[in-house]
Structure 1
């Protein structure tokens, strides 16, 4: 199964690529967003079994549902190997408000788990997979 991850050229680090982001032929190629959206949309409910059941899967499903609704992913089907930054970004360059999705996840963690991860936790998850993020949240309990 393919995982959701950005290609090596995204996000751009070159100042001109950053400046021209979203400008065809001058900025970085953004066509990969269509591929990410299709890849994620083609997953089935059986793929969620990779979470292994139990509390890990329940938390993953709650996070996945928020990402689906808030960011426009076609389904709430994510796997542990997906890169968290990609899932939290959304399936297109002109994405919705990723802060709203993050805020909803923080609210759900507080409401359902009495959990308020510090900013240092979120910063440490910059390159994490969704599996690592979910496992990290569960260890904070």
Structure 2
């Protein structure tokens, strides 16, 4: 399992201008400047629709302490626009205790707490987060 990186070298962030979005910054969550409570509130909003359909998603109503614990179990990435986090996801390495054989295999990672602010959905932010985070995770896994 990976550990959370509190500081970020310059290559650990990506800034781009996207049509309809403006300046989008992709980076790791930084507890020195980001709020676990605000991240939790974003997840609640992002998962409201699924919860209203009767689907159980921990992110729909978890406490900030659960958001923090789940994020620190892997690598938490965020998308920031206009100084505000508008998307997030946590990538976690293989789960040796999982009842599912596939999740216990080396080279397998899972996504958790993958949510985009509802008013920002459909603008490619999720795709941008995946494109930014997955290569970093793959590189980190091969380095271990």
Alignment TM-score > 0.5, same fold: no
TM-score normalised to the size of structure 2? 0.30
TM-score normalised to the size of structure 1? 0.30
Larger strand share, 1 or 2: 2
Larger helix share, 1 or 2: 1
